[in-house]
Amino acid sequence: MSQAEKPNIVFFDTTLRDGEQSPGVTLSVQEKLDIARQLSRMGINVLEAGFPVASEGDFRAVQAIAKNIGPLTEGRKEGVPMTICGLARAVNSDIKRCFDAIEPAPRKRIHTFLATSDIHLKYKLKISREQCIERAVAAVKYARSLCEDVEFSPEDAGRSEKEFLCTVLAAVIEAGATTLNIPDTVGYNTPEEYAAIMKHLIQNTPGSDKVIWSTHCHNDLGLATANTLAGVVAGARQVEVTINGIGERAGNTAFEEVCMALYTHPTLFPVGIKHIDPSQIYRVSKMVSNLTGMSVQSNKAIVGANAFAHESGIHQDGVLKHQETYEIIRPEVVGVPSNSLVLGKHSGRNALRTHLEKLGVSHLTEEEFQSVFERFKKIADSKRQVMDEDLMALLDDQTSQSGLEHFRLVNVQVFTTCGTSATATVRIQTLASADPPTYETHEDAATAPGAVDAIFSALHRQITLEHHMVGYDVHGVTGGSDALGAVTVKLVNSKDGTPNPKSPTIPSQPNGFIERTLQGARIFKGQATDPDVLLAGAKAYINALNRIALDKAMNISSELDKSGP
């Protein structure tokens, strides 16, 4: 088959559903909209936007994505919008709720699933194989009565008996399923094994030519990408992926890895990626790691900080002589910034706009651009060299702050007495009334052993919202003493979990541990960057508080919706 004749692989992105099931991750509706917009721009075909029956918040997010992102074609090479998909158990009430959420999208899909492995049937569902077939068929028929595009997943297919799988899948094809997804739910399979399952099912399921076969691989053995590619060679034409490979436990197949494997080996695979814009990869990876608070390990393929770094002298010498000696992908192909000096305090609007376009950011409104420009100027004043990484951090900062303004930071002053104590005075504004927005100014001071602790304590004294801190993370965006400091603060609403009696403090344990001890409690993240790391911390704290306040306001309004006429 010539390159031109190859079908494009269908990328089904589940960052906002399976990805959001990562421990400790919760995204606001606005954050989900921002990620969805970026995925659309990159060319993703199907977006699994959430699990609408799971919560009111999930329903609203899926509906908002269906309505606002569903129709978009901007940046999409094929000119057609993404299909917006929702997940539903094989239960009519779930399926109906799912359809109501995706309804506004021009292209929509219901994804329904039911376990098929003996271990799940016996211990989890407590049903027989016959009952399993009946339920699967009924669910698919009902979904098809609502929507033309229906995907069915036999959960734990990787450990299900192949002949039984063929029987279930033949029955759901008959019932109207249009895509069959084969999940290795627990990340158990090896590439050979997964390919053999896929091949067997395609060859032995009656009606298999009427549907698209799909992969869904978890990464418990670190084999998710290898299994996915093996599945493609065996006949799958859709791959289910997440950005940065986030997801349940060890995560899912990483989009960027599959995409770049197909890009790097165009003749090895029976599918193409002509519909994808790989230059958006780095940007979307950064956005997802910032908004989820899940940092990317530095040696992660394609998007890790070291993915294009050459440390040894021999390698550096080789790359300088000829890039391809040690680089199989040019960093700019995936939109990785060059790390060169880009702009300074004399750079104007045009230079900034042109540079952002080079980084794949061409979609800002005039208002958004103006705000980025003003922040860029402030940074350029205090920092000699503004790097691409700084610009990216600044953009992510802007995204993570959009629309959240119950609290505003006005001023921070800190006095430290060498190693013994620090006193911080913090002035803030709090929203007094929403329409029109009016603010009250407050100021308080606190003393603590360290400056960050003093700032957070001074802030805490002024906020009536009950909350406590479960995570604090700080890193330099670029190297050097003038690097922008990027801070993430994680707060929980005290009503949701056990309050920390010494709140607020900087936890000494790794953030992930604390999140796990508070299972069930929702964690609200705030991020901010600033040349002054103390100020970045105060801003991040305020951003996290704004998320709690917004969540509270939304719950109140949803209660009002329910009691309305």
Question: Given the rule CB under 6 A, which residues bind ligand KIV?
Answer: 18, 113, 153, 155, 181, 183, 185, 216, 218
Query: Which one, 178 or 527, has the nearer CB to ligand KIV?
Result: 178
156 lies in the binding site for Zn ion (CB under 5 A): no
With CB cut-offs between 5 and 8 Å by kind, which of ligand KIV, Zn ion, none does residue 526 bind?
Answer: none
CB of 383 to Zn ion, least distance (A): 42
Region binding Zn ion by CB under 5 A among candidate stretches 13-21, 56-64, 386-394, 424-432: 13-21
Region binding Zn ion by CB under 5 A among candidate stretches 11-19, 259-267, 341-349, 401-409: 11-19
96 half-sphere exposure, CB direction, 13 A CA radius: 3
Burial (CB < 10 A; 0-12, 13-18, 19+), residue 447, is: middle
Query: Which one, 229 or 352, has the nearer CB to Zn ion?
Result: 229
Query: Which one, 248 or 390, has the nearer CB to ligand KIV?
Result: 248
Residue given tokens 């407590």 in the structure block: 126
With CB cut-offs between 5 and 8 Å by kind, which of ligand KIV, Zn ion, none does residue 153 bind?
Answer: ligand KIV
| DSSP 8-state secondary structure symbol assigned to residue 362 | -
CB of 390 to ligand KIV, least distance (A): 37
With CB cut-offs between 5 and 8 Å by kind, which of Zn ion, ligand KIV, none does residue 155 bind?
Answer: ligand KIV
Distance of CA 564 to the CA centre of its chain: 34
Give how many residues touch Zn ion by CB under 5 A. Answer: 1
Phi, psi of 460 (to 5 degrees): -60, -35
CB of 89 to ligand KIV, least distance (A): 9
Region binding Zn ion by CB under 5 A among candidate stretches 15-23, 93-101, 304-312, 509-517: 15-23
Phi, psi of 326 (to 5 degrees): -130, 10
CB of 155 to Zn ion, least distance (A): 8
Query: Which one, 16 or 359, has the nearer CB to ligand KIV?
Result: 16
With CB cut-offs between 5 and 8 Å by kind, which of Zn ion, ligand KIV, none does residue 228 bind?
Answer: none
Query: Which one, 238 or 399, has the nearer CB to ligand KIV?
Result: 238
With CB cut-offs between 5 and 8 Å by kind, which of Zn ion, ligand KIV, none does residue 546 bind?
Answer: none
CB of 292 to Zn ion, least distance (A): 16
Residue choice 13, 18, 48, 473 for contact with Zn ion (CB under 5 A): 18
| DSSP 8-state secondary structure symbol assigned to residue 7 | P
Angle subtended at Cα 227 by Cα 226 and Cα 232, rounded to the nearest 5 degrees: 100
CB of 156 to ligand KIV, least distance (A): 6
67 half-sphere exposure, CB direction, 13 A CA radius: 9
**Upstream peptide bond of 531 is cis (omega within 30 degrees of 0):** no
- The Cα 233–Cα 236 span in angstroms is 7
| Run of H or E residues at 179 | strand 179-184
DSSP conformation letters of 427-476: EEEEEEETTTTEEEEEEEEEEESSHHHHHHHHHHHH--S-EEEEEEEEEE
- For residues 64 and 37, the answer to whether their CB atoms sit within 8 Å is no
| Run of H or E residues at 84 | strand 83-89
The three-state secondary structure class of 205 is: coil
Region binding Zn ion by CB under 5 A among candidate stretches 12-20, 153-161, 172-180, 431-439: 12-20
CB of 332 to ligand KIV, least distance (A): 34
With CB cut-offs between 5 and 8 Å by kind, which of Zn ion, ligand KIV, none does residue 113 bind?
Answer: ligand KIV
CB of 98 to ligand KIV, least distance (A): 12
Query: Which one, 18 or 388, has the nearer CB to Zn ion?
Result: 18
Query: Which one, 189 or 401, has the nearer CB to ligand KIV?
Result: 189
Query: Which one, 23 or 266, has the nearer CB to ligand KIV?
Result: 23
| Run of H or E residues at 539 | helix 533-563
CB of 209 to ligand KIV, least distance (A): 23
Query: Which one, 76 or 120, has the nearer CB to ligand KIV?
Result: 120
| DSSP 8-state secondary structure symbol assigned to residue 121 | I
CB of 214 to ligand KIV, least distance (A): 9
For residue 262, what are the contacts with CB-CB under 8 A and spacing of at least 6?
Answer: 9, 269, 271, 272, 273
What are all long-range contacts of 433-439, with beta carbons under 8 Å and residues at least 24 apart?
A: 437/405, 439/408
Query: Which one, 18 or 151, has the nearer CB to Zn ion?
Result: 18
Burial (CB < 10 A; 0-12, 13-18, 19+), residue 312, is: exposed
**Footprint of Zn ion on this chain (CB under 5 A)?**
18
